Amino acid sequence: MPFMKGRAAMRRTLRYLQSKPLFLKDEVKVLTVHYNNGQVASKGAYDFVFWHLPQLQYCNPAVQIVTFKNMTPSPFFQFYFQNGETMLMDLDSASREEITNHLQNTICKSRQALEKMRKEEQAKDNQANFGYSCSRWCICEMPGQVPCPGWVTLPKEMRGKYKNKDSD
């Protein structure tokens, strides 16, 4: 498998991308990462970009993520929101774990919001569910199903009184 070659090929597996989800809030539209290669103060930011940026991109496909290398004296994140505001997050001398925890506490969705979102998606995605709070009210709305007899009369061979009449 050619995608499993190279440095830390584990980062390209689906299991790894889904292992630590970092779901940014819906208001975030652009994230810029500024860090320097080989700088001691940027070591944590470099490690975060190397290990967690693919997970961040996988979990937030609608967010544009841009990295700027060797263009700043100190590492930082800059978030651009939907309403035009910006937010800076200083990453100077922070480790990869500290950056991840700080992101989860400030700009990522809470666990309760993620659970609620997951339950809503699960209820709507399952085509076998129908009724209240589902995408379909009745099973007859599915393609290939028999329509409701209240709206369309069933063929005689599907109705019991005609079917049982011949067997007497």
Return mean pLDDT, the chain. Answer: 86
pLDDT reading at 116 higher than 80: yes
Query: With bands split at pLDDT 50, 70 and 90, how would you rate the model's confidence at 47?
Result: very high
State pLDDT tens for residues 28-45.
Answer: 999 999 999 999 999 999
Are 68 and 53 in contact by the 8 Å Cβ rule? The answer is no
State pLDDT tens for residues 120-152.
Answer: 777 666 777 777 777 778 888 778 888 887 788
- What is the CATH code for 2-112? 3.40.30.10
Phi-psi region of 23 (alpha: psi -120 to 50; beta: other; left: phi over 0): beta
Domain boundaries defined on the chain: 2-112, 126-167
pTM of the model: 0.69
